[in-house]
Chain A
Amino acid sequence: MKSKILFLSLFLVASFTFGQTTNVSGTVSDSGNMPIPGVNVIVKNTTKGTATDFDGMFALDDVPINSTLVFSYLGFQTQEVVVTRGNQTINVTLTEDAEALEEVVVIGYGTQKVSKISGAVSTVKRENLEKLNAVRADDALQGQASGVNVIGAGSPGSKPTVLIRGIPSYTGTDPLVVIDGVTQTLDDLNSLNTSDIESINVLKDAALSAIYGVKGGNGVIVVKTKSGKRNTKTTFSLNSSYGLQQVINKIDVLNASQYVAILNEASANAGEGIIFSDISGYGKGTDWQEEVFKTAPITTHNLSAQGGSELTSYFVSAGYMSQEGIVGGGDKSYFDRVNFTANFDTDMTDKLKLISNTSYANIKGSSIAENSITGVLSNALNMDPTVPVYDEDGNYGVSETITQEIVNPVALIANTYNKSNTNKLTGKLELQYDVLDNLKFTSRFGYTYVDVYSKNFYPLVYYGTGHNSTTANADLSAITTTDDDGNETDLYSNRVSESRTNYFNFTYEMFANYNFNIGDDHAFETVLGMAIGKNTGDNITASAEDIPFNSWKYADVSASTDSESDTSSSWQYETRNISYFTRINYDFMNRYLLSFTGRIDGSTNFGENNKFGFFPSASLGWLVSEEEFFNPGVMTYFKLRGSYGTVGNDNIEAQYSTISTFPSYTFGNEIASGSTLETIPNEDVSWENQIQYNIGFDTRLFDNKLSISADYFNKTVDDLLFDPTLSLYLGSPEYPTTNIGKTSSYGIDASIGYNSEFGDNFKLSTNVSFTTSVNEVKEINNGNKYIDGSGYGIPYTYITRFEEGYSPGYFYGYKTDGIFQNQSEIDAHATQDGAVPGDIRFVDVNGDGEIDDDDRTEIGDPFPDFTVGWNLALDYKNFDFNVFTYASVGNDIYRAYERNLNYTNRFASVLDRWTGEGTSYSEPRVTFVDDNNNTRASDRYIEDGSFIKIKNIQLGYKIPDDVVKKNGLDQIRIYGQVKNAFVFTDYSGYDPEISNGDDSVLDTGVDRGTYPQPRVWTLGINVKF
């Protein structure tokens, strides 16, 4: 084929040429030795020319000796080279003419120059990633990428909440994650070694995410891992760090002396007697928070090597990360990760390239109960402070008065036994075949195999006689009961459960990239391809009772001494999808950009009548600064962008009508299995279609030192998926998900960057990212007009709602209006059952003269009005300094960690309680009999969770080169780092970042004792050799 083209070229150019001519060829690369495809190579003052291929190579025949070749490429300085001799090899290194301009962004099924992109993308650079030293890649996105709102999690290794441009749906807000072209999930980021990452791009608008079709609706995080470069010597890089993590603050609760005094008052107020006749001598008692928080280490070691020969390049790395939790710590709360990565690519022939990326990760962990009323922190806050950690016999102290849920948190930690071990293999095998210089086929097989083993042991425990969590006698022997016939049986048994889960997902993709020009002014970059994929998972779980010695050591199903107690269960799933996709990028005269993207997705999950969906998008860009009329003054670069398109949200399940064989009934003593209809299908169900549009601009000013990028977006979903709330008289089968809701989100994301060098020694680089979105549920056609989100407490009270006319997940409850100071105030107020002076006055919102459930209303919003991230990097001689600040403004928190039993501990605010007319206008009286239900869900528990966090401060020092080189090394850098150095917030709890973890996004902002993010003091070293 190539020879024909050469022949054709030869034929075409022959008529123009005379004199002595020769053939020239060569490679065009950038300053980093990366080949640049698509560089125009033109013989000066002629129309003769070509463009470099994917490997940056070009060849021109019959070029006159002494003619000049002009190498030009957008974003690079044009370079001229004179042909001096025959058969000359001309290798050209182009220099970037502006720093940001040359950047290549990895988008779906290809890369694109930043300047040619007409969609919205945020990029996090490797330098910033490295400085953050993040455990998870998604943590590193916080405040770095505009349009991305990350609510961090404190528990080791756990997933933060990641919202890209608002909350269009209440199910599945996780964005799609694509690592080196292989589609994965946000959960998979727990196994990715952050030091292997080259770059992270976030595809925010439909123009870019539509190539991922039904999976693109929540945005796409595109991760590129490092790879080696051709013809470079091997460089080794060693990074190690050691850090200590501490809790940042504690919550003010009553000490023992205060506790006994308040309890006496509460009891007296209820008309009951004094509980503690002598309240002296209690002292401070036990500070339970002090007992559960630990200073915990975090260690990372990474060793990598990269390099390349003429035909092959590689990147290999090994990583180890070990993080203990600050709550519980040690073997009770930790996250250990080992990574091995090997990325190879090799030219098998001139035209055929093989890329093989393989990553193995092993994750071991253990966790303690958190973010629930029975979690460790909730117990530490609510436990009676008069109880000692250990009694005089050395056993765990128990409360005689608290008989439910709340227990000695130190004992709770000790009684927590679980572990999990995950092995994960991910990677891809990819073949690239250059059919022509500008036509490339790619065949890619991406896979993820995960094997998770987990074990939980529930020993017999003692938290006090009569406590509802107690399952053993004080000496941990089994509690036996004797029936009237004198038969003795154990009331409770210890139990172990083991589970093994496998996941295997693969995607096979085949696509072609074809780039061509028509004339000088029309440039096309096109992609056409297809993908098939399969996701499978299966689990088997077994459990058994009566583990010998009540011991974790023997905790295994096989060790059970009661074989009749064995139970087992299993589940499995398989989904398949098939997709076709295309993208055409067109640019006219390097200044008018047009792009069209489309994807057709079919999935086993879609309803029978909606098996395939089509997701198109289009975008326009105008590089104003390339126009003739543009007069570069202060502004050197200006681009306008706009896009419109459709993407989906892939959050439905396969639709079919099933019989459940779960129901059962007992006849005599025999359990008979029964059946009934379990699910009813909706054949018409479809994915959620999002219509998105985006307009934005990019500009650079002052010699490209200042860059600004801003976007406005608007997303609407007309067919939001819901589990409909149907008439209760339909009974309780699973009714089909239907497309009955409507939401809209709009907002602005912007980033401003400034880079400058002052003299030879001082460099400043700073950027600010700004993210905001306004979300509204427009319509819910389920009868109720709302669905309950998340709640707290015992009895469980729903506190968040997804409701028509409101922001998703807003807080819902009573409004308070101070404290009733006297009876006449109560009489003057709407009827409020049980109220006496000193109780909270609730607002009669609907004005019906009665305080009841109908008076509940909007009392807060857990999502911020906006977030701002500010990164500042200074380099002075061998020193580098980096500060990252993140602010979240307008997010409310519902304080849900107060148990409020009569004998549980109380919070410091109670010291300002009402004790008589005029004594308090905000804090009600204390009482054992709360007929007014002062503790009902109300705005009393809402706090402003706005915060500014100095998330990261790092100071590094590069050992001077002469010292380093003497020792045969290339670079040594040492650094000290403080994460979460300062937190400025009015929130009274631990941490105003309340992530929803693995639960629904509607759980955001409910603080039931969330694992706080620690402050981390780290020392580290980077060595290159």
Chain B
Amino acid sequence: MKIFKNIALIGLLMVTAYSCTEYVDYDPAENYEIVADIYFESSDDYESAVVGTYDPLQWMYLNILIGDIASDNSLCGGESATDVVGLQEIDDMTHYASNDNLTSIWTWCYEGINRANYLEENKEKLEFDGKAALYGEVYFLRAYYYFELVKFFGDVPLFTEYRLTASDSGTLERSEASVVYAQIETDLLNAIDALPTTVSQSGRVTKYAAQALLGKVYLYQDKFTESAEVLENVIGKYTLVSDYASQFLSSGENGTESVFEVQHSSASEWWDWGYTPQGTEGNYGIIHNGPRGFSGPTYASGWSFNVPTEDLYNSYDENDTRRDASILDMEAFAEANDASYTEGYEHTGYYNHKYIPRAGESDAQTELNYGTNYRSIRYADVLLMAAEANNRGGVSDTKAQEYLNEVRRRAFGDTDHDITATGSTLTDAIWAERNFELAMEGHRFFDLVRTGEAADVIDGFVEGKHEVFPIPQQEIDISNLTQNDGY
């Protein structure tokens, strides 16, 4: 009896003591966390999410480096044969499915796409002024990311409805490249409809940028007439800067020739190597291109990757102002300016002059914060694409010559170097011109593949295999995707 009495006493005490399970409920606001449920309630939230969708553009330094390293333009370089093995292998065309760098590209592009899709998912939650134009930017960005994917990997999983969740893992299959291209076209056409021609902030997508990208996307599918047509809208809306080299300086950023430019800044004070390139506003590609152990004026030290070959240097006409603007002859520079440097792996003596670390253009952890923008689509590119589309589509060789020569006149400062050829000779001239104009800007490999020249030009390139890169092994393991041929 005593026992029961005591047990009852204890029980009573327990019950009265604390019976409140609310004590262990958690409100994320306690830690100042914003939860998804209360987001997309104001236009600011949408605006913010669009900025977040731009963000992955800044990460894609590898896409740009590989555009030249994989091609005949440059060697991988670096410190040694094992410095960034993934890039070394791509340079040597020995790359295979396990490649950290390709995995990064894949993941970055898909993060961009998912961020765009998150906006798509929440599109109907709120109406506000300027929403259509804002979604124009979103569709452009999604197209941009898918275009990168399809260029690199060919057939890729395609989804547009919502930000994927954990339960979607492993459920998707690759869509044919043509289907992905169709979606890119749809997105860009929607973007073109919605976007304004002028914007208040540099770096925002314009209607012309969307048209230029669409022209490029058509060109990649050999849709020449469509390409010529859409690019025609951009012709005359921009002007080539007179001094070719000036546009690659910080003072030349967002200039009259800039159709679409990925923006960077040195002001984010970024220190964390671990969350690079995602965390910084800087351009992580720049430090890769820098001269190793450099000491001297104008430039700053870097990691000696992506070193241009002597063949590229020699391919230029001596009078072509683009040679020295594109390629820095370091031996000559060092001698003239009492500068010193050390030789890296695969040293050629040349450096990428367009995207080289320049003195004073970084901050905080220097390597991570170069503010150099990436000139993604320049007007010169638009002219050359239009020239090619007009020529190859049989639209007008006259127009093609006109656009081509506009680019050449700026390069040589005269009309003596004008091209008068037509037909396939003209095509060859345009293709050659693309590299004179756009070398070391990350386009070369994809142009070579697109035009079918890659096997002739790139050592080790296997036709039917190397046109696309392998789907990352990790993704194949997790998601059961098929692999590209030959890998």
Contact = CB atoms under 8 A, between A and B. Distances in A.
Given A675-B49, A726-B169, A489 B359 contact: yes
A728 B106 contact: yes
B396 interface: no
A879 interface: no
B272 to A, nearest CB: 11
A331 B25 CA distance: 46
A532 B23 CA distance: 9
Contact of B478 (A436, A481, A658, A725): A725
A853 B45 CA distance: 45
B201 A667 contact: yes
A558 to B, nearest CB: 18
Interface in A109-128: none
A347 B131 CA distance: 74
Contact of B479 (A468, A528, A669, A729): A729
Interface string B284-299: 0000000011110111
B26 A654 contact: yes
A404 B472 CA distance: 30
Contacts of A492: 366
A731 B115 contact: yes
B359 A784 contact: no
Interface in A706-729: 724-729
Contacts of B53: 674, 676
Interface in A282-335: none
Contacts of A663: 51-52, 55, 115
A732 B111 contact: yes
B486 interface: no
A668 B254 contact: yes
A291 B57 CA distance: 48
Interface in A539-554: 545
Contacts of A565: 269, 364
A395 B408 CA distance: 55
Given A466-B295, A532-B23, A611-B21, A677 B342 contact: no
Contact of B164 (A435, A574, A725, A729): A729
A604 B113 CA distance: 33
Contact of B107 (A602, A662, A725, A732): A732
B268 interface: yes
> Which of B168, B249, B301, B475 gathers most chain A CB within 10 Å?
B301
B359 A482 contact: yes
Given A674-B52, A933-B82, A657 B35 contact: yes
A761 interface: no
Contacts of B157: 729
A907 interface: no
B36 A677 contact: yes
Contacts of A669: 265, 267, 371
A727 B31 contact: no
A765 to B, nearest CB: 43
A833 B45 CA distance: 53
A441 B31 CA distance: 36
B118 interface: yes
B26 A510 contact: no
A764 interface: no
Interface string A646-677: 00000000101111011111111111111111
B360 A487 contact: yes
Contact of A902 (B58, B80, B118, B340): B80
B347 to A, nearest CB: 13
A603 interface: yes
B264 interface: yes
A465 interface: yes
A482 B166 contact: no
- What class of interface size applies to chain A in its complex with B? 35 or more
A602 B24 contact: yes
Contacts of A574: 30-31
A852 B39 CA distance: 48
Contact of A664 (B106, B165, B281, B297): B281
Nearest to A931: B81
A656 B36 CA distance: 9
Contact of B57 (A491, A665, A735): A665
B151 interface: no
A134 interface: no
A658 B36 contact: yes
A1024 to B, nearest CB: 43
Contacts of A44: none
Contacts of B336: none
A671 B359 CA distance: 22
A14 B465 CA distance: 104
A334 to B, nearest CB: 27
B24 A530 contact: no
Given A482-B297, A665-B263, A512 B13 contact: yes
B49 A676 contact: yes
A990 interface: no
B33 interface: yes
Interface stretch (A355-363, A364-372, A576-584, A980-988): A576-584
B118 A677 contact: yes
Given A530-B14, A728-B474, A783 B24 contact: no
A530 B18 contact: yes
Contacts of A735: 166
A854 to B, nearest CB: 9
A671 B80 contact: no
Contacts of B85: 795
Given A510-B13, A664-B55, A730 B33 contact: no
A603 B23 CA distance: 8
Contacts of A603: 24
Contacts of A935: 82
Interface string A726-757: 11111111011010000000000000000000
Contact of B170 (A674, A727, A933): A727
Nearest to B48: A675
Given A483-B298, A730-B110, A930 B36 contact: no
B52 A658 contact: no
A878 B295 CA distance: 72
Contact of B300 (A491, A528, A662, A664): A491
A483 B358 contact: yes
B98 interface: yes
B31 A481 contact: no
12 contacts: A466-B294, A482-B360, A483-B361, A532-B23, A565-B364, A576-B23, A602-B23, A676-B118, A728-B107, A728-B474, A728-B478, A736-B166
Interface of A: 5, 403-404, 435-436, 439, 441, 465-468, 481-484, 487-489, 491-492, 510, 512, 514, 516, 528-530, 532, 545, 565, 567, 572-574, 576-578, 580, 602-606, 611-612, 654, 656-659, 661-677, 680, 682, 724-733, 735-736, 738, 782-784, 795, 833, 852-853, 901-902, 929-931, 933, 935
Q: Which 5 A-B pairs have the closest CB atoms?
A: A466-B293, A481-B359, A674-B51, A674-B52, A489-B360
Interface of B: 2-3, 6-7, 9-11, 13-14, 17-18, 20-21, 23-26, 28, 30-37, 39, 45, 48-55, 57-58, 79-85, 94, 96, 98, 103, 106-107, 110-115, 118, 156-157, 159, 163-166, 168-170, 172, 201-204, 249, 254, 263-265, 267-269, 278-279, 281, 292-295, 297-301, 340-342, 358-361, 364, 366, 371, 472, 474-475, 477-479
Given A680-B166, A930-B81, 11 more contacts: A481-B299, A528-B10, A528-B11, A565-B269, A668-B201, A669-B265, A671-B265, A726-B478, A728-B103, A731-B110, A930-B82
